[in-house]
Amino acid sequence: MECLVYSRTEKKYISRYWKEVKVGDFVQLRCNEIIPADILLLSSSDPDGLCHIETANLDGETNLKQRQVVRRFLELDSEFDPLKFTSVIECEKPNNDLSRFRGYIIHKSGKKDGLFKENLLLRGCTIRNTEEVAGIVIYAGHETKALLNNNGPRYKRSKLERQMNADVLWCVLILLIMCLFSAIGHGLWVWQYDEKKKPIFDVPGPDGKYLSPALASVYLFLTMIIVFQVLIPISLYVSIEIVKICQVYFIHQDKDLYDEETDSQLQCRALNITEDLGQVQFIFSDK
């Protein structure tokens, strides 16, 4: 995608790709154009210095929001000229908070004006009901608030999967307790015999000496883990995945979920939430 960026050499706005926009560039936007970076609003065609934006791409809200030109630039008598911009902007480090922006702008005269979220145009929003606006890029690329909030899809666990994970942890705990009791019992039993009278099943070490009760307990603890490891249902997860795949297949083949008018059938795009469909009690909708 392209946008208009001010060129200091050509002294006019020229078309550039979004990836070429840098912090400190002056960008000019028109109505229905998507904002390419986080931009501080310095000029607007609106007489009151307002700019309306649509933030549906960020928060899903379709109602328009107002943004205001920085106060001292609102008082300019002539059209905003990037070459005459001599102010210094100081603001907070890039963060993912869409509802917060703090900073200030220091003018050539030494006076300061505060900067707030009402002065910031966020990347991904769309200009609405405003013919033309201009501003300076504050955050660009991966430092914009929109991209910092884009952490990828969140993995959703079904109620069955959460319960299954808890049950496996209980199985591990029971296994450890059983191994611990076995090791302690074995150590106490071996402790009853002296060096000359050992049980017939006790095997001496390479040096001909028998193991101490404590060391024998440690060895038996590890042995019991191997013996009792069948308590851990390792194949359970594989079996559940196979069941989910079969369940999705039957959902796709269900004739009751087929629409003849559009010639389309139900599409199941996730394997880990189909088992929750039968547990839905409430449906909330804003439409």
Q: Is the pLDDT reported for residue 78 higher than 80?
A: no
The predicted pLDDT at position 202 comes to 63
- Statement: 2-148 belongs to CATH 2.70.150.10: yes
Split at pLDDT 50, 70, 90, the class of 216 is confident
Residue in 77, 256, 259, 286 annotated catalytic: 286
Mean pLDDT, residues 219-223 taken together: 90
Q: Where are the domains of the chain?
A: 2-148, 163-279
The predicted pLDDT at position 35 comes to 95
122: tokens are 């966020």
More confident residue, 30 or 190: 30
Instruction: Give me the sign of the Cα torsion angle 7, 9, 10, 12.
Output: positive
How many helical (H) and strand (E) elements, i.e. helices and strands, does the chain have? 6, 14
Query: What would the pLDDT profile of 146-161 be if each residue is shown by its tens digit?
Result: 998 887 667 778 888 8
Query: What would the pLDDT profile of 23-36 be if each residue is shown by its tens digit?
Result: 999 999 999 999 99
Place of tokens 């911009």: 85
CA distances from residue 193 to 29, 183, 211, 218, 259 in whole angstroms, order as listed = 90, 16, 12, 18, 79
Query: What would the pLDDT profile of 12-26 be if each residue is shown by its tens digit?
Result: 999 999 999 999 999
Q: How many other CB atoms are there within 10 angstroms of residue 235's CB atom?
A: 8
Nearest CA to 19 out of 41, 39, 34, 37 is that of 37
**Residues 29/16, Cβ–Cβ less than 8 Å:** no
The predicted pLDDT at position 170 comes to 95
**Residues 52/129, Cβ–Cβ less than 8 Å:** yes
**Residues 54/164, Cβ–Cβ less than 8 Å:** no
The predicted pLDDT at position 166 comes to 94
To the query of whether residue 194 is one of the catalytic residues in this protein, the response is no
The predicted pLDDT at position 176 comes to 95
Query: What would the pLDDT profile of 230-283 be if each residue is shown by its tens digit?
Result: 999 988 889 988 988 898 888 888 888 888 888 888 888 777 777 888 788 888
